Structure 1
Amino acid sequence: MHSAQVQSWTQGPRYVSVDNPPAPSDGQVQLHVLAAGVHQVVRSRASGAHYSARVLPHTLGIDCVGKDESTGKLYYVFTMQGGTFAERINIDKSSVYPLPDHVDPASFAANLNPAMSSWMAITQRTTNLPKDFTAVIIGATSASGRLAVHSAKALGAGKVIGIARNSETLADVDGLDDYIVLQDPVAETDFSKALGVDVILDYVYGDAMVHLLASLSRVKQPVQYVQIGGLSQHTPQIPSRLLRSFDLTIRGAGAGSWSISALTKELHTMVPTVASWKLTPAWSVQLKDIEETWNDPSLKAKGRVVYVP
Structure 2
Amino acid sequence: MKAAVINNFGITPRYEDFVDPVPSNDEILVHVKAVVLENFEKGVAGGKHYSSKNMYPQFPAVVGHRGIGMTPDGKLIGFSIMWSPYGSFAEKAVAKNFTPIPDGIDAEIAAAIPPSALTSLLPFKNTVKLNKGETVLINGATGVSGRMAIQIAKLLGAGRIIGTGRNETSLKLIKSLGADAVIDLKQSDENLLDAFEKEGGEKGYDVVIDFLWGHPAEILMQSFVPKSMGVARKRIRYVSIGEKAGSVANIKGEMLRTSGLELSGAGKISPEEISAGMMQVWDWIKENKLHMDIEKVRLADIEKAWLRNDLEGKRLVIIP
TM-score (norm 1): 0.79
**Rounded Cα–Cα distance in structure 2 between residues aligned with 1:231 and 1:38:** 17
Deviation per CA, 1:126-150: give whole Å up to 9, x if none.
3x54444332111212222101112
The alpha-carbon deviation at position 201 of structure 1 amounts to 0.8
Q: Which 5+ residue runs of structure 2 have no aligned equivalent? A: 227-231
Q: Does 1:9 align with 2:9?
A: yes
Q: Is the 8 A contact 2:216 2:245 kept in 1?
A: no
**CA root-mean-square deviation:** 3.2
Distance change (3 Å), C-alpha of 1:48 and 1:138:
closer
Which residue number corresponds to residue 211 of structure 2? 203
Q: Partner of 2:205: helix, strand, or coil?
A: coil
Q: Is the 8 A contact 1:118 1:148 kept in 2?
A: yes
Amino acid at match of 2:15: Y
Amino acid at match of 1:164: G
Q: Partner of 1:161: helix, strand, or coil?
A: strand
* Residue among 90, 93, 103 paired with 1:89: 93
Q: Partner of 2:55: helix, strand, or coil?
A: coil
The alpha-carbon deviation at position 215 of structure 1 amounts to 3.5
Q: Which 5+ residue runs of structure 1 have no aligned equivalent? A: none
Q: Partner of 1:285: helix, strand, or coil?
A: strand
Which residue number corresponds to residue 241 of structure 1? 254
The alpha-carbon deviation at position 70 of structure 1 amounts to 1.8
Deviation per CA, 1:81-116: give whole Å up to 9, x if none.
452112122312x4224134243x334423433333
Which residue number corresponds to residue 157 of structure 1? 158
The alpha-carbon deviation at position 247 of structure 1 amounts to 1.8
Deviation per CA, 1:222-259: give whole Å up to 9, x if none.
11111222333374433321211222101134xxx657
Q: What is the 5 A alignment of 1:22-37? A: 22=22, 25=25, 28-37=27-36
Q: What is the 5 A alignment of 1:211-290? A: 211-218=219-226, 220-233=233-246, 235-253=248-266, 258=268, 265=275, 268-269=278-279, 271-273=281-283, 275=285, 276-290=288-302
Which residue number corresponds to residue 301 of structure 1? 310
Q: Is the 8 A contact 2:32 2:91 kept in 1?
A: yes
**Rounded Cα–Cα distance in structure 1 between residues aligned with 2:93 and 2:274:** 19
Q: Is the 8 A contact 1:112 1:274 kept in 2?
A: no
Q: What is the 5 A alignment of 1:63-82? A: 63-71=66-74, 73-81=75-83, 82=86
* Residue among 96, 101, 104 paired with 1:98: 101
Identical-residue share of aligned pairs (%): 25
Q: Partner of 1:117: helix, strand, or coil?
A: helix
The alpha-carbon deviation at position 33 of structure 1 amounts to 1.2
Amino acid at match of 2:212: V
Q: How many residues align structurally?
A: 298
